[in-house]
Amino acid sequence: MHLDITVRKAKIFSLILGKRFKREQVIGKKVVEFLREHVNENEILEYRKRFWEIAFCIDPLGIELLKHDKPVPYSRVVLKRLSKYFEIIYITNRLESMKDITINELKRYNFPNYYKAYFASDSYMLKDIKITRSDTLSKLPKEFDYICVIDDMPDNFPLYKSLEIPIIIGFMKYIVLDENLFKKNGASYVIKDWKDFPFETLALYSYICLFLFGIS
């Protein structure tokens, strides 16, 4: 949600389905939800696997498509402001094999603390999003007090609650567009734009690790 990957997502679907899709057509839909609209149910697993092979750059085609990723407006402004006072850590369901690619991407776009990123193990490629995120979270340093997380997938929020992270911010712009779903899963706040980041909620804290989500 700090990177807008919707153009790349549309291009991957165009490649694997042999039909041109626009960015607007993939917004608000998870991979399986989108595939369900275009292939038979018994073909979903095959196309899902193909999608993630490209998205995670296991297939070299994916590397060429990374150029379509762009920073979400105001994400860098907000994160740079926060980084003056707090520690920022990025978490993602991208695989360990994508670590160098992702860190270089964050560095190229001048995101603060770009090198502090944690990834899912390669063996988790096609596992449930919540299980995959749990694997990533297990790798976080234990010495920090994590007080805030921002994520665009409400499925992950129970994991953050189990870690007793007090502030959970839902980013509702590209994948899940149901505000009630964010709140039902435990969101403290729901924002549609980085300009709406609730800075006032951090006033009582002197140290923070922000969790940021790349590809679901």
What's the CATH code of the domain at 110?
A: 3.40.50
CB-based contacts of 114: which residues, under 8 Å, 6+ apart? 90, 103, 106, 107
The one-letter code for the residue type at 120 is A
31 and 88 fall within a common domain: no
Nearest 5°: the CA angle 95, 216, 75 is 100
Which of residues 50, 68, 86 is at a domain's end?
A: 68
Q: Token digits for 188? A: 């403290």
SS3 190: strand
Least confident of 56-60, 142-146, 169-173: 142-146
Tell whether 216 is covered by a domain: no
Alpha-carbon distance of 122 to 133, in angstroms, equals 12
Q: What's the pLDDT band for 57 if we cut at 50, 70, 90?
A: very high
pLDDT for 215 equals: 37
Nearest 5°: the CA angle 122, 125, 79 is 80
Residue span of the structural domain in which 12 resides? 3-68
- Mean pLDDT along residues 127-138: 96
Stated pTM of the model: 0.92
Alpha-carbon distance of 48 to 35, in angstroms, equals 8
51 and 109 fall within a common domain: no
- Mean pLDDT along residues 98-120: 94
- Mean pLDDT along residues 34-48: 98
Give the mean pLDDT of the chain.
Answer: 92
pLDDT for 214 equals: 41
44 and 129 fall within a common domain: no
101 and 126 fall within a common domain: yes
30 and 110 fall within a common domain: no
The one-letter code for the residue type at 56 is F
50 and 90 fall within a common domain: no
Q: Token digits for 120? A: 């899912």
140 and 117 fall within a common domain: yes
45 and 91 fall within a common domain: no
Q: What are phi and psi of 215, to 5 degrees?
A: -105, 135
